[in-house]
């Protein structure tokens, strides 16, 4: 019995990617279907990093294809391909960076930086090339969180090389000044310093650059949102009403400048007692869910208020690195995967496809 490509496509329409919720035909992931006698091979291209998911997806597809009458052997080549996606109008992409993810909060103290670092590390753990930029000039925390000491070098005297830790590129004003020196700068100076950190750093072929935004929605944040080519933003909040009020302001700020909200992360969702393991909602419950529902955005995940998260981050080995098989690291990886999927669903950046037009006097 001969096997047709339409049979293969019909079967693949019934196979749903557990991460995206879409079948492999609707998502255009199935490519290069080849039939040789009773054997079937194809490529499955994922638009998000999925190192931990590839084997399970391969088995899912191959089992479905083998169930087709007449198929003896089936092989699915599953891989990830991360491309650049659209940003705000009139803002150019940064060389060496495909996608920029801004991690923001309306107020400080909600665990935004901890979330940003673990999000970046989780993306890297799934096979992506990742960098992180500490955009908090007044209170840079990245050097301590990643356990990095020393200053970045420069090969040409004009640009700076990113620091590296845990397989990830990193840049922060904290690498360039003494850790005890306060940054007594006004807004324009801070904005200029950030632009230099972003554009003068020699980022090397990054799939994602995670930007840990300073807290608030003032002039600095607005300028960054207007001038930095952001693919999407992640809002970090706690369930507490006062935090939700400020998170809403941050969300609306990004919407006003045309930056899509990739989702909301609820930090300190529950408290876990280190003695007995009892879990309780000390900051309230369901706040981020309501914020997400009211603004038609996704709740990416909820993280506990756990002493180990703080201890691991302070030691320079954040949770995703310190306890990669633990429950909290699994939550961070799930959040990272959803962020990458939301980005993959965005329109692709096509500016590189257009030829440069140069007008000369002849």
Binding residues: 106-113
Look up residue 247 and give its two tokens.
Answer: 């998170």
The helix-helix angle for 307-314 and 112-125 (nearest 10°) equals: 80
Give the span between the Cα atoms of 233 and 264, in whole angstroms: 9
With b meaning 16 or more CB within 10 Å and e meaning fewer, what string describes 200-237? ebbbeebbbbbbbbbbbbeebbbbbbebbbbbbbbbbb
SS3 category, 268: coil
The residue length of the chain stands at 362
DSSP code at position 351 = G
Cβ(247)–Cβ(237) below 8 Å: yes
Give the span between the Cα atoms of 103 and 115, in whole angstroms: 8
Give the span between the Cα atoms of 87 and 90, in whole angstroms: 9
Give the span between the Cα atoms of 254 and 104, in whole angstroms: 10
Residues contributing to the annotated binding site for ATP: 106-113
* DSSP per-residue letters across 275-341: TT--EE-TT-SSHHHHHHHHTT--EEEE--B-HHHHHHHHTT--HHHHSTTSHHHHHHHHHHHHHHH
Cβ(271)–Cβ(304) below 8 Å: yes
Cβ(150)–Cβ(345) below 8 Å: no
């Amino acid at each position: 019995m001969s096997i047709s490509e339409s049979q293969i496509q019909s079967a693949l329409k019934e196979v749903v990617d557990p991460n995206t919720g879409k079948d492999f035909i609707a998502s255009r992931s199935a490519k290069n279907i080849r039939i040789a006698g009773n054997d079937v091979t194809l490529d499955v291209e994922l638009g998000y990093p999925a190192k931990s998911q590839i084997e399970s997806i391969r088995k899912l597809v191959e089992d479905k294809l083998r169930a087709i009458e007449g198929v003896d052997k089936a092989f699915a080549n599953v891989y990830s391909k991360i491309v650049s996606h659209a940003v705000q109008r009139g803002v150019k992409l940064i060389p060496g960076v495909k996608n920029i993810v801004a991690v923001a909060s309306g107020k400080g103290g909600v665990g935004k930086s901890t979330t940003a670092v673990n999000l970046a590390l989780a993306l890297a753990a799934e096979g992506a090339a990742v960098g992180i930029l500490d955009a908090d000039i007044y209170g840079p925390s990245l050097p301590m969180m990643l356990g990095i000491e020393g200053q970045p070098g420069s090969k040409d005297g004009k640009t700076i090389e990113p620091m590296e830790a845990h397989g990830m590129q990193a840049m922060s004003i904290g690498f360039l000044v003494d850790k005890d020196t306060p940054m007594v700068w006004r807004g324009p100076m801070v904005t200029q310093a950030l632009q230099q950190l972003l554009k003068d750093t020699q980022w090397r072929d990054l799939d994602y650059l995670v930007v840990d935004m300073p807290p608030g929605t003032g002039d600095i944040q607005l300028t960054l949102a207007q001038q930095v080519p952001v693919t999407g933003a992640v809002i970090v909040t706690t369930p507490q009403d006062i935090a939700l009020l400020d998170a809403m302001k941050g969300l609306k700020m990004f919407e006003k400048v045309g930056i899509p909200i990739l989702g909301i992360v609820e930090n300190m969702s529950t408290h876990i007692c280190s003695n007995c393991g009892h879990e309780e909602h000390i900051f309230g419950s369901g706040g981020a869910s309501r914020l997400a529902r009211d603004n038609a955005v996704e709740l990416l995940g909820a993280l506990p208020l756990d002493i180990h998260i703080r201890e691991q981050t302070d030691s320079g080995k954040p949770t995703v690195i310190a306890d990669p098989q633990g429950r909290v690291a699994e939550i961070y990886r799930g959040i990272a995967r959803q962020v990458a999927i939301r980005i993959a669903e965005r329109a692709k950046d096509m500016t590189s496809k257009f030829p440069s037009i140069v007008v000369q006097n002849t």
